[in-house]
Structure 1
């Protein structure tokens, strides 16, 4: 497999605190790659740099060989790189259906000219988008709340809706930021199943930051461990769990881990 995301020698500091220190990673196309590490390891900072939410101090980020280091999140959206957030960013006063229908770009109804002079074009495209939204709701098992205000959904349902929004466009890479946080075990099973299906059936590549090691173990291969802003080790979850460096990074010593 070829790398779809490549991070080269990224540095990032806040004031005098160096958070990312010459960090390089690769995410292979078609993989579900996990990123873990103790608190303060730099996971979220690196994630936000890749997603275009935070500028790096130096280094390069590539998407399928193209330099995207200085691209904004909306530019990355149009290139097929999307992200979800630890706290869902739904439009709370719109329905679940409307949240999905908002996603596809360049809809003809956005133009006043089309709305006035080409209403059939607007209507036909809206019908297509609505049908796609219904299909996505069925895929993520949220058809029963399609007319519910998104703000009234449970935390787990909001996470499912965020995942569904990535399906309303031509996503290639999805960055998942602690998607299991605040989700009950039943809906977490639905989330993991949907991620697996999107990866297997639609070819999505995922980069996952997560503290739920059961989820990482089920979904991710390889797993990248960050510590002090650098890659400590990368490998299969079984190798990671038994790696002495990782144990000490998380727990301070082998004795504490025991």
Structure 2
């Protein structure tokens, strides 16, 4: 598979007072990849993720998304262009079913207009039927059929994470930023979660950019893995090479493994 960059970070820097959190950092997330981002505490990973997601604005440099300069755009603007960060999508509506939660995701539905509801009931019904069918297809893909009519608030932590993945599928994201996706998920459901991320990537062509504490999960899912230290990218490659790199062992793996 030939790749091109869906995210291209070019010489980006960000300072907070006297602390330079990201220092002239450049990296690429190739279309169709599952790219991991790791590094020791204080490496600048979370700041870089926030810069890419539009939560903060860089002091210098550019962020290119899908060939367009999106530096300084807000998260909701990036959402409508197809960049989703999992926690940026509203948390589940606890008193609605899993199916209803998925049906709430697409924006601009004709039923949102009171006038259309009065004047175009046929259009409204057709649109709702389409959204419902798509939600059912997503539920089938994620193997959540047994809980589709369960209130979302009653789902386990792992099932909620799967539902969150499902919400990204309702809007056909070009790239999904996964931030600590394994947090609060038991080992059994984590395997299901990882398998679904792999299926979304391999069968549906989703691109993922991942920060994660769990190095086993990073090793399973991600190629390439990008390593940051002191606000800079210091290495990139498959996990087998990353683990064997003396510079990384000194900067990262010489201490207890964390990827905050």
* Bin for the TM-score computed over the shorter chain: over 0.9
The residue aligned with 2:15 is 13
The residue that corresponds to 1:228 in the other structure is 230
Aligned position for 1:127? 129
Q: Pick the aligned partner of 1:249 from 229, 241, 251.
A: 251
1:155 aligned to which of 157, 163, 172: 157
Question: Which residues of structure 2 form unaligned runs of 5+?
Answer: none
What pairs up with 1:1-258 in 2 under 5 angstroms?
1-85=3-87, 89-252=91-254
Is this contact kept in 2: 1:92–1:149, CA < 8 A? Answer: yes
| SS of residue paired to 1:82 | strand
Q: CA deviation at 1:151?
A: 2.0
- The whole-number CA distance in structure 1 between the counterparts of 2:82 and 2:88 is 20
Shift of residue 217, structure 1, vs aligned partner: 1.0
The residue matched to 1:127 in structure 2 has which SS?
helix
Whole-angstrom distance in 2 between the partners of 1:150 and 1:56: 37
Question: TM-score when scaled to structure 1?
Answer: 0.94
Whole-angstrom distance in 2 between the partners of 1:158 and 1:217: 23
How much has 1:214 moved relative to structure 2? 1.1
C-alpha change, 1:87 and 1:120, in structure 2 (3 Å) is: closer
CA contact 1:108–1:122 (8 Å) conserved in 2 = yes
CA distance, structure 2, for counterparts of residue 213 and residue 64 of structure 1: 28
Quote how far apart the aligned CAs of 1:92 are: 2.5
Give, in whole Å, the separation in 2 of the partners of 1:31 and 1:146. Answer: 30
SS in 1 for 2:171: coil
Distance verdict in 2 for CA 1:192–1:184, change over 3 Å: same
**Cα deviations by residue, 1:128-172 (Å, 9 ceiling, x for unpaired):** 111111111111121211122222211111111110001001211
* Partner SS, residue 59 of structure 1: strand
The 8 Å contact of residues 85 and 179 in structure 1, kept in 2 or not, is answered as: no
Which ranges of structure 1 fall in alignment gaps of 5 or more residues?
Answer: none
In 2, distance between residues paired with 1:134 and 1:85? 22
Q: Residue 251 of structure 1: CA displacement?
A: 4.7
**Whole-Å Cα distance in 1 between the matches of residues 47 and 143 of structure 2?**
32
Distance verdict in 2 for CA 1:111–1:4, change over 3 Å: same
Kept after mapping to 2: 8 A contact 1:86/1:181: no
Q: Kindly state the Cα deviation for residue 78 of structure 1 after the two structures are TM-superposed.
A: 1.6
Taking structure 2 as the reference length, the TM-score comes to 0.93
Instruction: Report the Cα offset of residue 86 of structure 1.
Output: 10
